[in-house]
Amino acid sequence: MDMFKDMSFFYRSKRVMNVHITNIYGFIQDQELKKKQNIYADAAHVLGFKEMGIFNFDVSTDTENELSKRIDGIISSLQFNDLVFVQLPTGNGEYYDNLLINKIKAYNTKVCILLHQIIEYEYVLNVVDLIMPTSNEVYAYLKEHNYSNVFYKKNIDYEFESSSNSSNILSSDFYIKKYLIDAVDQLEEPVLDDDVIHIGFGLHDKDGHYSVWVGTVMQSILEHTDSRVCFHILHDETLSTDNKYKLEMVAHNGSSKIEFHKIDENDFSIVKNQMSRFTIGAMFRCSLPELLPDLNQIIYLDADLFVNRDIKELWDVDVREYCLAGVVDEGVDIHNYPRILNKYPEIKKESYVNSGVLYMNLKKLREFGNLKKLVVDFLIDNPEADLSDQDVLNVLFHDKVLYLDGSWNQFVLMHRKDNVEKLDKAIFHYAGTLLMLYSHSQIDLEYFRAICRTPWSDYEMNHQFEQCFGRMNDRVYQYQNMLQLLSNTNIKHIFYGEENELLKTLYNRIHLKDGDYRVLEHAQNMEYDILPCKDLSVLKDEKNPKIIFVNWESDHCLAIQNLEELGFKNGKDFFVISRFFSFFDGGFM
């Protein structure tokens, strides 16, 4: 039996997905192109590939609906997660070829282009998983234009000879088969090389904007490392085709790989209410140990980060004896104290880890069972866990954590207060704050520049300016309305929230008077509190003129909703402190 027939049987028995290849038929002026495609298709048949026949025709004679149905017929044998070799050009034009690729990729397939001629299809060449040039000329063009997703072996570039003509392509039947087999291996096998850094993101993009932040983190990573990186995007159905393409562009432009993993959001529906203040995408990381069974470790990152150091330094940290590696949450004292610590006093706030940067030892985590089930079950049993899976990970693995240097997860709020001119080598975390172009802070400038180097730059430049000016106008509006109330000498000051640094700063700006007090849904009074705390319900009976200042994070981020349900109006009866405070004081400005 021919060795490639043996190999064909091996591949069919080994693969769980089908492999397809396109092939053109009908009359086509470029007979050389047709001959090349036929040769590759014939070699693929021997290997057990399924053929998708494409007939050459005048595309302009079809309506969009007719053309769409025609291509649906061509790809009718396609199943989800298959692998497709698309031979380009098809001879039917760029619009046809783009539509063909998009329809194939809708099946979550891996697509490899066998590129026989130079074509200036920027979209297609960036969105596919692999490009296989079949001549030195095409290969040179791809490298000149910095396409990184190229697979080519110069030492098997042979001259094809026929009775009629010859051209510089991979022509030997043996080497064509070998070329195709090597490409299948590259696309089928997970990226497990020891020198590849694996980085994961959870992506729930309900407004279409979250992808921008993920792409910006990726951009900052690639600009600070020479290492090979494989990004794993854990996403649900909210990820649009356009944003997926742009994420692929970021990875490919940085000579890195990207893999998309579809997550069923319904897996976490039972705890969705507990995730109301966070994106449900944060829960997707709990699927990583089972989703990537061949990986031993991965760095998980939130989307509100700017990486200003080589991520390989983190990858090289030895985590073999730990389940997780992370940085102590410096926001515990600044923001709300995690309520879960009251239930589990063995976990000290000084050792509570922020989950925005997590080095996960997947191999060791698997020893404790299914992480997704562990997290969901814990949240069901502990409804007071208001920081979702971050609370769970701290409780379940508090004695199995390697504590990293604080530079691996440095809050931007702290950096702005220090007013440092030169950025440290660090990962900066925009927790509890936003990009501020008027801050005169180096971190905001560098973060904005990184955004402008992504495929979203055209829209984001204007969008960020509009956002900043909008916040400045809102601050003026807040002060105008507050001054009208504060001019009343009989006004009573009421503060909604725990007595943290934010409230204490406001106390110093306002002349407190006898009778001023705080409220929470359920009053909590501590020994060293400056103002007494009362139940929120007392506001219904408060007859005196009053102004209410609100820490929006209070009562599990329900403070604003609670006041509105009592009939108070935002910006008229109560004011959110973060909306008029500067970023130096913990505000949004």
d(CA 519, CA 523): 6
**Higher local confidence (pLDDT), 252 or 443:** 443
Q: Per-residue confidence at 333, pLDDT binned at 50, 70, 90?
A: low
Question: Quick one: how many helices (H) and strands (E) in the chain?
Answer: 22, 22
pLDDT score recorded for residue 218: 98
3-188 with 196-428: one CATH topology? no
pLDDT at position 203 over 90 = yes
pLDDT score recorded for residue 145: 87
pLDDT score recorded for residue 437: 77
| Percent of the chain residues topping a pLDDT of 70 | 88
**Assigned CATH for 3-188:** 3.40.50.2000
pLDDT at position 167 over 50 = no
pLDDT at position 509 over 70 = yes
pLDDT at position 144 over 70 = yes
Nearest residue to 165 (alpha-carbon basis) of 12, 339, 31 = 31
Q: Which of 16-25, 231-240, 572-581 has the lowest mean pLDDT?
A: 16-25
- For 405-445, the DSSP string reads PGGGSEEHHHHHHHT-SS--SSEEE-TT----TTS--HHHH
**Higher local confidence (pLDDT), 126 or 402:** 402
Q: Per-residue confidence at 274, pLDDT binned at 50, 70, 90?
A: low
- Which top CATH class is 196-428? alpha beta
Give every CB contact of residue 165 below 8 A, 6+ residues apart in sequence. Answer: 32
In 263-404, at which residue ranges do the beta strands (DSSP E only) sit? 297-301, 305-307, 324-328, 353-361, 401-403
> What is the pairing mode between strands 353-361 and 517-520?
unpaired
pLDDT at position 155 over 80 = no
pLDDT score recorded for residue 304: 95
pLDDT at position 181 over 80 = yes
Q: Measuring CA to CA, how many Å separate 252 from each of 107, 125, 210?
A: 21, 10, 20
**Higher local confidence (pLDDT), 26 or 336:** 26
Q: What confidence tens digit (pLDDT) does each residue in 400-459 have?
A: 999 999 999 999 877 777 766 778 899 999 987 888 777 778 898 999 999 999 999 988
pLDDT score recorded for residue 187: 78
Three-class DSSP category at 222 = helix
pLDDT score recorded for residue 189: 62
pLDDT at position 14 over 50 = no
Range with top average pLDDT, 169-183, 325-339, 380-394? 380-394
Three-class DSSP category at 258 = strand
pLDDT score recorded for residue 527: 86
pLDDT at position 477 over 70 = yes
Q: What confidence tens digit (pLDDT) does each residue in 518-527 have?
A: 999 999 888 8
pLDDT at position 307 over 50 = yes
284 and 255 Cβ atoms separated by less than 8 Å: no
Q: Per-residue confidence at 275, pLDDT binned at 50, 70, 90?
A: low
**Higher local confidence (pLDDT), 423 or 214:** 214
In 165-240, at which residue ranges do the beta strands (DSSP E only) sit? 166-167, 196-203, 228-235
Range with top average pLDDT, 373-387, 425-439, 530-544? 530-544
pLDDT at position 170 over 60 = no
pLDDT score recorded for residue 205: 93
Quote the distance between the C-alpha of residue 585 and its chain's center: 29
Q: Domain ranges for the chain, please list them.
A: 3-188, 196-428, 461-585
Q: Per-residue confidence at 160, pLDDT binned at 50, 70, 90?
A: very low
